[in-house]
Amino acid sequence: MEEARSARRVRRQAWRPWALLGGVVALSGAGGVLAVNSLSALEARNAQLEQEANESEARVAELQALRVSMERRLRVLEQQQQGAGSLPVDPRKAREQNAQMMRRETARLNLTAALKDELTRGDAWLDTLGTEALRLELSERLLFEPGQSGLTPRGTEVLGRAGSVLAAVEEHAVEVAAHTDERPQSSEGEAGETSWELSTARAAAVVRALHEGPGKLAPERLSATGHASFRPVVPSDSPVNRLRNRRVTLMLRPLPEAPAVPSPALAPVPAPQAGKKTAQR
């Protein structure tokens, strides 16, 4: 009997290390799962913090750009007021001009974000013309094949992004002007096409894309002009400069005020004439 109990004790002692080892393995597995979950949570949190930091940096950059732009607008307004001297200023007109400048400034910031890649690569240029207009220039290679007037799929997509921003600017028109160089490359079936014809056709194609694109710009807000090679921005003395001159300009300006329609003048009523007295005999 004693020998049986001793045998069972020995067997229990023999299994004890294995039981302990199993417990250690189980704890290690659970710890590994917890560690993996913790690591995944830390990575997700880190990614979230990086995204928030990038968004904060973008917002700070946007606010700085807005501050610089408003300072520039303020200097221009001060110069205008100094030049005006003692001329009376219409408060209503001044408020309207300030509101228009704010709309164009908002459009400039939105275009900068919408065309970030194109602006960085040097395929687009964006600037302001004093307090009167906002100018966006797009390179030929961004919109057209050499010598052709039909928009490329990429050009249609870029104009869709730009048109959505421009369409949101109330009380403003978009003037489209296309420019070529002095040596247009005629496409097949268009032999003899001049720079005038090519630039005019391109301007019309851009206007059509802005009207039919996501922005749905109203026709009365659009105009198209072809300038051929006669308004270069740099001398056309090298392939690089000629490429720079082949461009399309979108000018955002306030809509012209509608002329006041004079009220029809009332025709003067003739005075009654005194009747002639006839003597009757």
DSSP class per residue in 152-194: PHHHHHHHHHHHHHHHTSTTEEEEEEEE--SS--PPTT-TT--
Pairwise CA distance, residues 228 & 200, whole Å: 8
Is the pLDDT at 263 greater than 60, yes or no? no
Residues 158 and 221 in one domain: yes
Cβ-proximal residues to 206 (8 Å cutoff; 6+ apart), any chain: 143, 151, 159, 176, 178, 224, 248, 250
Q: Do both 250 and 133 map to the same domain?
A: yes
What is the C-alpha separation between 14 and 21, in angstroms, rounded?
12
Q: Do 114 and 243 belong to one domain?
A: yes
- Looking at residue 48, what is its pLDDT? 79
Residues 6+ apart with CB under 8 A from 132: 253, 254
pLDDT, one tens digit per residue, over 153-168 is 999 999 999 999 999 9
- What is the arithmetic mean of pLDDT over 37-52? 76
Q: Are residues 20 and 156 in the same domain?
A: no
pLDDT value, residue 144: 97
Residue 265, in any domain of the structure: no
Total domains in the chain come to: 2
Question: 213 and 162, same structural domain?
Answer: yes
Strand order in the sheet with 172-179: 124-129, 133-139, 247-254, 172-179, 222-226
pLDDT value of position 277: 46
Q: How many C-alpha atoms does 233 have within 13 Å on its Cβ side? A: 16
Give the model confidence (pLDDT) of 60-81 as tens digits: 666 666 666 666 666 666 666 6
Using pLDDT thresholds of 50, 70 and 90, give the confidence band for residue 242.
Answer: very high
Domain-embedded: residue 261: no
Given a cut of 60, whether residue 237 has pLDDT beyond it is yes
40 CB-contact burial (10 Å; exposed 0-12 / middle 13-18 / buried 19+): exposed
CATH code of the domain in which 158 resides: 3.30.1330.60
* Statement: residue 86 has pLDDT above 70: no
Q: Same domain, yes or no, for 70 and 159?
A: no
- 165 and 221, same domain (yes or no): yes
Q: Do residues 21 and 149 share a domain?
A: no
Asked if the structure places residue 210 within a domain, the reply is: yes
Residues 80, 106: one domain? no
Neighbours of 122 (CB within 10 A): 9
CB distance 164 to 214 below 8 Å: yes
pLDDT at residue number 46: 76
What band does 279 get if pLDDT is binned at 50, 70 and 90?
very low
52 pLDDT tier (thresholds 50, 70, 90): confident
Query: In the predicted model, is pLDDT for residue 267 greater than 60?
Result: no
Which residue type occupies 62? E
Task: Indicate whether 51 and 109 sit together in one domain.
Answer: no
Domain that holds residue 132: 94-186+193-254
- Judge whether 247 lies within some domain: yes
Q: What was the pLDDT predicted at 81?
A: 61
- Both 64 and 179 in one domain: the answer is no
The answer to whether residues 79 and 161 belong to one domain is: no
